[in-house]
Amino acid sequence: MKEIELYSFKGLYCDDFRIMGYEFGYGEKTVCIMGSLRGNEYQQMYACSRLIAKLKEIEEEGQIKTGKSIMVIPCGNPYSVNTKKRFWGIDNTDINRMFPGYDKGETTQRIADGIFKKINDYKYGIQFASFYMPGYFVPQVRMMKTGNENIELAKKFGLPFVVLHKPRPFDTATLNYNWQIWETDAFSIYTSSTEKIDKKSAKQGVNAVLGFLSKEGIIDFRELACYDARVIESEKLVSLRAARAGFLESLVNAGDSVEKGQILAYITDPYTSEVLQEVIAPEDGIIAFEYDSPLAYQNTALFKLILDHNC
């Protein structure tokens, strides 16, 4: 394992800003795995740390194929982690909305540029990603629909779902999108959480990456039991929203199967405990996303449902 400083700049009032990468094997730039790009992506950074530990063992056992190299970047935004801010502390900008970056632009544009110049020519790009809302996901692999997506490759991760996402204008500045435009096969791995470490789903994400690397002939690894992934388009996920603001009492979890007419949650009055809304499943399906907050505001997406007939 080689520890490499990929990008840095001088800090004025604290330690220098450094992005560190951990390289395994040698030869062609085969696969790059990116962890946290936002300051609250603890689960994503944790998953990378566990992946680094496993790859170190695999390398020591001589099980990385000759001429293949693997880069893991646990964190691309250590300053925001240190200050407990999701986005850049000074101007609240999002590094994962700044790719491919600009070396003469604002700080987050320069960081994105510094990262992307080092990783834009890998054959495969894998990002442990997070959603913009707090909550829990059923583990899945996502791809942008750029015309360069490869569904069969995505299935090799062995996660329950492959989700195809039609990019919106702001998605064109994400790492995943730009990797694909620069002809890298790019995938976003979603485990169950973001700000809370879920060891079980992190292990599932790590094993999914190792299984993919094995199937692509990059490492020797005993593949574990995996899912026959179901493919769904993100626009076909059904959002169930809060009609009223109040306390959220959820009765189901991400990954649960639900039936049409089933009560999934209650919204209650914060002052009187009066039930303001019963959140009901409109069809049979699987909970893909569960909102994680005791308080729900009106029109908040509480659940995202994969309908059985869309799988």
Q: In this structure, how many other beta carbons lie within 10 angstroms of the beta carbon of residue 195?
A: 14
Q: Note the pLDDT of residue 311.
A: 54
d(CA 101, CA 120): 12
Mean pLDDT of 57-61: 97
Q: In this structure, how many other beta carbons lie within 10 angstroms of the beta carbon of residue 61?
A: 10
Q: Note the pLDDT of residue 228.
A: 81
Cα–Cα nearest to 79, from 4, 35, 18, 7: 18
In contact, 253 and 292? CB cutoff 8 Å? no
d(CA 8, CA 22): 15
Contacts of 158 (CB under 8 A, 6+ apart): 207, 208, 211, 212, 223, 224, 226, 227, 229
Percent of the chain, pLDDT > 70? 98
pLDDT for 96-155, tens place per residue? 999 999 999 999 999 999 999 999 999 999 999 998 888 899 999 999 999 889 999 999
Across the chain, mean pLDDT equals: 94
Report residue 225's pLDDT band, with 50, 70 and 90 as the boundaries: low
Q: Note the pLDDT of residue 310.
A: 63
Domains and CATH numbers, the chain: 2-233 (3.40.630.10), 237-310 (2.40.50.100)
Tell me the whole-structure pTM to 2 decimals.
Answer: 0.93
Quick check: 227 pLDDT over 90?
no
Quick check: 12 pLDDT over 90?
no
pLDDT for 254-307, tens place per residue? 999 999 999 999 999 999 999 999 999 999 999 999 999 999 999 999 999 999
241, HSE (Cβ side, Cα atoms, 13 Å): 8
Task: Supply φ then ψ for residue 46, to 5 degrees.
Answer: -60, -45
Task: Supply φ then ψ for residue 304, to 5 degrees.
Answer: -120, 125
Query: Looking at per-residue confidence, does 145 or 226 come out higher?
Result: 145
State the DSSP code for 15: S
Quick check: 209 pLDDT over 90?
yes
